Chains A and B, each alone.
Chain A
Amino acid sequence: MDWLDQQQQNFDSLQNFGPRLWDGFLLTVQLTLVGAAMAFVIAVILGLMAGSPNLWLRGPARIIIEFFRGTSLLVQLFWVYYVLPLFGLTLESAFTVGVIALGVNYGAYGAEAVRASLTSVASGQWEATVALSMSWTHKIRRVIFPQAWALMIPSLANLLVHLMKGSAIVYIVGLNDFNFELDQFRRVTSAWFSYAFVGLIGYFAFALVLTQGMRLLEVRAKHRLGQGLSLREILSPAPKVPTSGVQPGGAS
């Protein structure tokens, strides 16, 4: 009976604390999506540079990629937080600090996925663009990237989940994200109820939404290349099962 009373109390606190937790959750969602957008831009730029035959582009890209992949996320977070201000670059909000750290760290990982998928585009496609004397932007935009995009989505989906999980550390520089609010909630309930019951399930639900979203993107990208069903066919009442490389577990 004691335990049940405790749970009753916990759920009551959950109702009172709910709006704060929800705000924190939304901040985590924002942090993840904005961080992922930044990571994606960095990944595409560095990935294109790293896949280039020109040493002056490839060399710097490789150094940047290996540097950000080799040092740890928390080190980069502290670096942005403590060291960048010394160079006169003061970031006014913890949100910006978090977005930059997540963006450069996972952007470097993403660059490897972009580079690998660019090299997996059939060499005949590259040769054809040369034969048609397409400009660089034209060939990347219209021929190579759409094909590489379909190939890179599964790895990017994994990285997106990693980024989401990594965002839980950003509270350390003073961001009131989901993890921070969970800590506050723990003080009025218990670690198990707050972190395990509310927190892990909240993060898990978000991760599932992210992976399913990436799956839909992959279906669309493949359909545009003439492979597989369209999104409309899949989302129709009698769906056929799509073939997707995105695993529900987010494992590579």
Chain B
Amino acid sequence: MIPLVPFTADPVPEPTGNVWNWDFAIEIFPDILRAFLEVTLLVTVVGTVIAALLGLVIAILLRVLPRPFAFVLRWAANFIRMTPLVVQLLVLYYGFTWMDPLTIGFIVFGIHYATYMSEVYRAGIDSVPKGQWEATKALSMSAGRTWRRVVIPQALRSTIPSLGNYAISMFKDTPFLFVISVAEMVRVAQTIGAQTFRYTEAITIAGLIFLAASYPTALLINRLEKRLAYAN
């Protein structure tokens, strides 16, 4: 594992004829790939799980809370959604110095994307036909049972593609962890560049790994979206 050096804006490299070196690229590839598997993917998966669960909680709370509380919650969510992830990471990083930066990453990514996902769930809940709600009333189901057995199962189906798209967005935002010195892929690539004064290979490899991971997933989600639309 490559040790991290503190980041400073390095002097801009001089133009040289030798832009790309295959041997060097092959040599550093395993380090960058390891950072991708161990940190980038981990943050994406944990962040997505937190966001998907918390987003659902927010969406339900927005429906069931009394008006003033729902109003406060809605604007709190807007506030989180409309302010930079980078600044949110830095708040917790310097505000809770005892906390592990990776944990801060989980929390911030989870909460930030939960505010996006809650909008997806909200749309899904709104799309459940009114007759379904009336039917649960007619059957005198409890509120909990109505949500668990009737509304949520129907609301969730149409939300899966949008949630997947937000998971991809989160994946592509993970390099922001750079600012709180988590050794994710781009940070490792930048460190390799700073130590060897060869940035091209490291940064390009990081970019290509992003592309190789996100593009096929996006295509898959696109197909799923079309299928669901067809099924409806």
Q: Which residues of A contact B (CB under 8 A)?
A: 66-67, 70-76, 78-79, 81-83, 85-88, 90, 94, 161, 164-169, 172-174, 179, 182-183, 186, 190-192, 195-196, 199-200, 203-204, 207-208, 211, 247-252
B: number of interface residues (CB 8 Å): 52
Consensus secondary structure, chain A interface: helix
CB pair A208–B210 under 8 Å, yes or no, is no
List residues of chain B with CB within 8 A of the CB of A82.
10, 12-13, 193, 199-200, 203
Q: Is B87 an interface residue (CB 8 A)?
A: yes
Interchain Cβ contacts within 8 Å, total number: 156
B213-227 interface with A by 8 A CB criterion: 214-215, 218
| A-B residue pairs in contact (CB < 8 Å), sample of 10 | A71-B210, A79-B204, A83-B199, A83-B204, A85-B13, A165-B83, A166-B84, A167-B84, A249-B78, A250-B78
In the complex, what residue of chain A is closest to B86 when comparing beta carbons? Answer: A168
CB pair B19–A168 under 8 Å, yes or no, is no
In the complex, what residue of chain A is closest to B123 when comparing beta carbons? Answer: A251
Chain B, residues 170-199, CB within 8 Å of chain A (1/0): the string is: 001111101100000010011001000001
Question: Among the interface residues A71, A200, A204, which one has the most CB atoms of the partner chain B within 10 A?
Answer: A71
List residues of chain A with CB within 8 A of the CB of B86.
165, 168-169, 179
Question: Among the interface residues B12, B193, B199, which one has the most CB atoms of the partner chain A within 10 A?
Answer: B12
Q: Is B94 an interface residue (CB 8 A)?
A: yes
List residues of chain A with CB within 8 A of the CB of B95.
190-192, 195-196
CB pair B119–A251 under 8 Å, yes or no, is yes
B91-129 interface with A by 8 A CB criterion: 91, 93-95, 115-116, 119
Chain B, residues 65-91, CB within 8 Å of chain A (1/0): the string is: 000000000100111011111111011
Q: When chains A and B are docked, how far (Å) is the Cα of A115 from the Cα of B8? A: 40
CB pair A207–B178 under 8 Å, yes or no, is no
Min C-beta distance of A117 to chain B, whole Å:
18
Q: When chains A and B are docked, how far (Å) is the Cα of A183 from the Cα of B15? A: 32
List residues of chain B with CB within 8 A of the CB of A179.
84, 86-87, 90
List residues of chain A with CB within 8 A of the CB of B189.
78
CB pair A72–B94 under 8 Å, yes or no, is no
List residues of chain A with CB within 8 A of the CB of B207.
71-72, 75-76, 79
List residues of chain B with CB within 8 A of the CB of A73.
172, 175
Q: Is B9 an interface residue (CB 8 A)?
A: yes
**Which of B85, B174, B186 is the one whose CB lies under 8 Å from A165?**
B85
Min C-beta distance of B32 to chain A, whole Å:
11
List residues of chain B with CB within 8 A of the CB of A191.
90-91, 93-95
Min C-beta distance of B97 to chain A, whole Å:
9
